[in-house]
Chains A and B, each alone.
Chain A
Amino acid sequence: AQSVTQLGSHVSVSEGALVLLRCNYSSSVPPYLFWYVQYPNQGLQLLLKYTSAATLVKGINGFEAEFKKSETSFHLTKPSAHMSDAAEYFCAVSESGAAGNKLTFGGGTRVLVKP
């Protein structure tokens, strides 16, 4: 069975400061890992994904994440927060195979950006 833990349900950052969202996973097979963003009253939009290629993955809007197998982590970072980054962020794991990308999600982290 796979699971995802996101540390911190709410994170507050100042505009221009580093954004760091933590994600730890468990999986019995090499995982595919994803970060999704959800803006208010919207669906989920893919930020980036790790599928066993480079361990440092760059996504949209200046976000990146690093896969660390030894730590079973896939933390999301952005060097400088913008007001438009205020949203909820979800880490997800998939054991891609016959069921496509059947995702297991973490509980989400809501990001507040202060001016």
Chain B
Amino acid sequence: NAGVTQTPKFRILKIGQSMTLQCAQDMNHNYMYWYRQDPGMGLKLIYYSVGAGITDKGEVPNGYNVSRSTTEDFPLRLELAAPSQTSVYFCASCAVNTEAFFGQGTRLTVV
């Protein structure tokens, strides 16, 4: 039982490049979330999903896109990387009455 798995763990992007951060969970959770963590700011919600085929914007969605074609996977797409997207990204999942379980994070640097 792996929980929430994020790949890659680290990535350096050049301005304007694109990439997909992968997130997979094996707990059959309906709810999945993407957060970004910046120093002193806590975690901010980027996008979330309440089930396969359903996604919605969080607090800071600009510059990102998501999809949820299966219950297990919730990839986050950066289309045109900008320095402001340098951050640590966390994926999380939960069921209706459970706490959120977090992945180990992806540290992204845009140069």
- Spell out A's residues near B (CB within 8 Å): 4, 6, 9, 34, 36, 41-46, 49, 90, 98-108
In whole angstroms, what is the CA distance A9 to B105 when docked? 21
Bound-state CA distance A41–B103 (Å) is 11
Nearest CB in chain B: distance from A5 CB, A: 10
8 contacts between A and B (CB under 8 A): A43-B103, A44-B102, A99-B31, A100-B31, A101-B94, A101-B100, A102-B33, A102-B58
Set of chain B residues within 8 Å of A49, measured between Cβ atoms: 99
Whether B50 lies near A98 (C-beta < 8 A) is: yes
B2 lies within 8 A of chain A by Cβ = no
| A59 CB to nearest B CB, Å | 11
Residues of chain B within 8 A of A99, CB atoms compared: 31, 48, 50, 56
Size class of the B contact interface (CB-based, 8 Å): 20 to 34
Rank and list the top 9 A-B pairs by shortest CB-CB distance, nearest first. Answer: A100-B31, A105-B42, A43-B102, A44-B102, A105-B43, A107-B42, A43-B104, A46-B99, A101-B94
- For the complex, is B108 an interface residue (Cβ under 8 Å from A)? no
Interface assignment of B12: CB less than 8 Å from any CB of chain A: no
Query: Which residues B64-102 have CB closer than 8 A to chain A?
Result: 90, 92, 94-96, 98-100, 102
With A44-B102, A90-B42, A100-B94 already in contact, 12 other A-B pairs whose C-beta atoms are closer than 8 Å: A4-B42, A43-B4, A43-B103, A45-B102, A100-B30, A100-B95, A101-B94, A102-B58, A103-B45, A107-B41, A107-B42, A108-B42
